[in-house]
């Protein structure tokens, strides 16, 4: 039997390099492995856990689907869908919340960070974020979840929920594991913390032009001279170089750095060009797909239907075990 895979990205706008390297690359790898059956969604309901703009939510849902397709997610191989159109996720999330303590949720580092960032929006939806995420995964009985390392605390919550459910109600849900990629942690261009949509100046969008990429890469803070410890912005620069340049080029730049003869602008412009070369075909496909909205509609419609069939089956299995049916 094929193992199941589930992943998702919030509908906060365009994808950035962190999403691409930490999540979508892993999603593609698993899609192209015949041992897996993949479900990939736009986590639009998770978008409302922090302040959001209702007038752009619908457009952002589509934007993510279009970028998924442009990067290479194939609706013939993977089920692509929108979370809010499969309401079984929400029903299951409520049942799951009965085995999770409030204290456990309040202690999660991801929750604390968001509360700090948006003190006015400390809502039930935010507290419930990991429970809904567990429901997303469990409703497909997914074994593997391709996500960045920042999501590990949420996967731990999902595993705890699975263990409790299996123990209390005799369900046979698998404990989901993270599927990791080389880019599982993409640092911020500011040299501190991770690349994140909510931090201006920290990210490169997949749809950025060569000029934008060059400007952003040039803005990575580096030392006056090469040769010191590889920390902060220099660490970011070399990590991105490792992911986008050939091994030979990467090693050459590193050697130049240690010998104190690296010109930062040279590595930066080489890197910007390499990133753009990888993104250019994706950008071309985004343009094409935007001209073919009816195809995108069809993909979404078919995906939501397929996802619902699986989600409904798991939900009724769990409801029976819990005594509802």
Binding track over 20-39 against ligand TYM, x by CB under 6 A: -xxx----------------
Cross-strand partners of 41: 8, 81
Report how far residue 102's alpha carbon sits from residue 149's, in angstroms, rounded to the nearest whole number: 24
Among 37, 88, 136, 208, binds ligand TYM (CB under 6 A): 136
Q: What stretch of H or E contains 145?
A: strand 144-146
137 binds ligand TYM (CB under 6 A): yes
Question: Where would I find the H helices in the chain?
Answer: 17-19, 25-31, 44-47, 54-71, 88-96, 102-106, 109-117, 124-127, 129-138, 152-169, 210-218, 232-244, 247-258, 264-290, 293-322
**What are the C-alpha distances in Å from 235 to residues 149, 159, 241, 262?**
18, 33, 10, 14
Options 71-79, 133-141, 227-235, 292-300: segment touching ligand TYM (CB under 6 A): 133-141
Q: What's the min distance (Å) between Cβ of 150 and ligand TYM?
A: 5
- Which residues from 199-228 bind ligand TYM, rule CB under 6 A? none
Q: Does 19 bind ligand TYM (CB under 6 A)?
A: yes
80 binds ligand TYM (CB under 6 A): no
Q: How far apart are alpha carbons 8 and 19 in whole angstroms? A: 10
Question: Would you say 184 or 214 has its CB closer to ligand TYM?
Answer: 184
Of 153-192, which residues contact ligand TYM (CB under 6 A)? 183-186
Q: Which residues of the shown chain bind ligand TYM in the complex (CB under 6 A)?
A: 6-10, 18-19, 21-23, 43, 46, 133, 136-137, 145, 147-148, 150-151, 183-186, 194-196
């Amino acid at each position: 039997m094929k193992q199941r895979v589930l992943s998702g990205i919030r509908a906060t706008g365009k994808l950035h390099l962190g999403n691409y390297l930490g999540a979508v690359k892993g999603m593609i790898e698993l899609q192209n492995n015949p041992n897996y059956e993949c479900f990939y969604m736009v986590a639009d309901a998770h978008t409302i856990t922090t302040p959001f703009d209702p007038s752009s939510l619908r457009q952002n849902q589509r934007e993510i689907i279009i970028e998924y397709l442009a990067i290479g997610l194939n609706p013939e191989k993977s089920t692509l869908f929108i979370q809010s159109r499969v309401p079984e996720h929400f029903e299951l999330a409520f049942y799951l919340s009965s085995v999770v303590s409030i204290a456990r949720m309040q202690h999660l580092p991801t929750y604390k960070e968001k509360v700090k960032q948006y003190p006015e929006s400390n809502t039930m939806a935010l507290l419930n974020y990991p429970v809904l995420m567990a429901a997303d995964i469990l409703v497909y009985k997914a074994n593997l979840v391709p996500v960045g390392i920042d999501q590990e605390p949420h996967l731990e919550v999902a595993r705890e929920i699975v263990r409790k459910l299996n123990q209390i109600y005799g369900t046979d849900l698998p404990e989901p594991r993270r599927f990791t990629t080389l880019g599982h942690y993409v640092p911020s261009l500011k040299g501190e913390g991770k690349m994140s949509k909510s931090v201006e100046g920290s990210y490169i969008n997949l749809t950025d032009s060569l000029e934008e990429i060059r400007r952003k890469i040039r803005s990575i803070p580096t030392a006056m001279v090469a040769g010191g410890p590889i920390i902060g912005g220099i660490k970011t620069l070399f990590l991105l170089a490792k992911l986008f340049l050939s091994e030979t080029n990467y090693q050459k730049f590193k050697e130049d750095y240690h010998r104190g003869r690296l010109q930062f602008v040279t590595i930066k412009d080489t890197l910007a060009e390499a990133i753009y070369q990888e993104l250019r075909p994706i950008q071309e496909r985004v343009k094409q797909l935007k001209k073919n909205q009816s195809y995108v509609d069809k993909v979404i419609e078919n995906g939501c239907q397929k996802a619902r069939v699986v989600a409904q089956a798991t939900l009724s299995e769990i409801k029976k075990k819990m005594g509802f049916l």
